[in-house]
Amino acid sequence: MRAIAQQRYGSAEELRLVDVETPVPGEGEVLVRVRAAAVNARDWHIMRGDPYVARLAMPASFGPRGPRRAVRGSDFAGVVEAVGPGVTSFAPGDEVYGDLREHDGAFAELARVPLDHLAHKPAGLTFEQAAAVPLAGTTALVALQDMAQVRPGETVLINGASGGVGTFAVQLAKAFGATVTGVCSTRNLGLVTELGADGVIDYTREDFTRSGRRYDVVLDLVANRSLGELKRTLTPQGRLVLSGGGTSAGGRPRVFGPMALVIRARLAARFGDRRVRPMPDVPPTPASGLKMLRGYLESGEVAPAVDRTFPFARAAEAVRYLEIEHARAKVVISMGTT
């Protein structure tokens, strides 16, 4: 079968369309014919081995000189091709979506998926729309529901509201009954407003950490502010949730990158700062979050925002676009386009 793979760390030029061995589902696994896959910041971080510290901290994904697994991609949507021994909850022909996480391998014609990494595809969504959901949607869900424990009537600020996770976070926070403010660039103000934000802040014109406004929850997805700056935007009982961040301009990998802020936040939380809530080191397996998101997606309360769709043969270009061009919302690879 065909897949997008790499053998060593580097730019998107290292990604190649190659023939690889067709996977066979094992015990508790499903073989999915991929119809669409989404690109995440995670993909280019692993592609580049960036930051360096991740090569030590995340050995399941990062090897010393190249990614642990050659085939890139974690998010997918497709059709069940075959099931392994012991699988009764899925059958050939079922439409599914999921997040492979450290297993990787979504940028391929077929993917072998553990049961707890997929769910039935939401009705009414195309494969391209469904593929845009898993990692970003479940990250937003865990951040707001589990970590921040957003309650109706609270105020929520999302720094990075026009990105992949941010677009889901805006909609989920509204679904939870919060008043939402999104921080983004000038060109994305309209998008964030359309997603339901009650207010938007153009970071090129206003520094939200110096405005004097306070929020019950701040979800930071950019890691471009210090921990102190972010904490001063909180109400006395406010909660700060940190999830990823960092951008690349195609240069050499950094030593710590956005992990520096996360490390500081974890130290603060460990020493008793209850307002700081980094995302868990080992997040919940995707299936439960995917099932919960399906309800929001089928009701129309949440909808994937897709920036661009690339054909499978141009997957490397899709990764480059997300990494270098500061894409908004989600970037998707479609197996059905040429």
DSSP secondary structure, 76-138, as one string: EEEEEEEE-TT--S--TT-EEEEE-GGG---SBSEEEEEGGGEEEPPTT--HHHHHTSHHHHH
Judge whether residue 325 has pLDDT over 60. yes
Find the angle CA(288)-CA(290)-CA(295) to the nearest 5 degrees: 105
**What's the pLDDT at 249?**
47
Judge whether residue 298 has pLDDT over 60. yes
**What's the pLDDT at 55?**
72
Judge whether residue 50 has pLDDT over 90. no
Judge whether residue 183 has pLDDT over 90. yes
Judge whether residue 256 has pLDDT over 60. no
Amino acid at residue number 29: E
What is the chain's mean pLDDT, rounded?
Answer: 91
**What's the pLDDT at 110?**
98
Please report how the helices 286-299 and 134-141 are oriented relative to each other, as an axis angle in degrees rounded to 10: 90
Give the model's confidence band at 36: pLDDT under 50 very low, under 70 low, under 90 confident, else very high: very high
Span 135-278 CATH architecture: 3-Layer(aba) Sandwich (3.40)
Give the model's confidence band at 255: pLDDT under 50 very low, under 70 low, under 90 confident, else very high: very low
Contacts of 141 (CB under 8 A, 6+ apart): 168, 172, 289, 292, 293
**What's the pLDDT at 328?**
84
- Half-sphere exposure in the Cβ direction for 295 (13 Å, CA): 7
Please give the average per-residue pLDDT across 305-318, as a whole number.
96
Give the model's confidence band at 338: pLDDT under 50 very low, under 70 low, under 90 confident, else very high: very low
Q: List C-alpha distances in Å: 268 to 169, 222, 227, 275, 308.
A: 24, 19, 9, 9, 39
pTM: 0.92
**What's the pLDDT at 124?**
96
Q: List C-alpha distances in Å: 174 to 66, 111, 145, 157, 257.
A: 40, 34, 12, 11, 31
Q: Strands 155-159 and 179-184, how do they pair?
A: parallel
The domain locations on the chain are 2-133+304-334, 135-278
- Half-sphere exposure in the Cβ direction for 78 (13 Å, CA): 31
Give the model's confidence band at 324: pLDDT under 50 very low, under 70 low, under 90 confident, else very high: confident
Overall size of the chain counted in residues: 338
- Least-confidence region, from 52-56, 91-95, 177-181, 259-263: 259-263
The answer to whether the CB of 46 falls within 8 A of the CB of 169 is no
- Least-confidence region, from 62-71, 130-139, 243-252: 243-252
| d(C-alpha 118, C-alpha 138), whole Å | 12
Dihedral through CA 253, CA 259, CA 263, CA 269, nearest 10? 180
pLDDT in tens, 184-226: 999 999 999 999 999 999 999 999 999 999 999 999 999 888 8
Strands (DSSP E) found in the chain: 2-5, 16-19, 29-39, 75-83, 95-99, 110-114, 118-120, 155-159, 179-184, 199-202, 215-220, 234-242, 276-278, 306-311, 330-334
- Least-confidence region, from 76-85, 240-249, 290-299: 240-249
2-133+304-334 fold: Quinone Oxidoreductase; Chain A, domain 1 (3.90.180)
- Enter the DSSP assignment of 175: H
The answer to whether the CB of 327 falls within 8 A of the CB of 301 is no
Judge whether residue 258 has pLDDT over 70. no
| d(C-alpha 5, C-alpha 94), whole Å | 27
Closest CA to 159 of 102, 197, 133: 197
Please give the average per-residue pLDDT across 280-303, as a whole number.
91
| d(C-alpha 196, C-alpha 320), whole Å | 29
| d(C-alpha 238, C-alpha 210), whole Å | 17
Q: Torsions phi, psi of 99, nearest 5?
A: -135, 115
pLDDT in tens, 100-149: 999 999 999 999 999 999 999 999 999 999 999 999 999 999 999 999 99
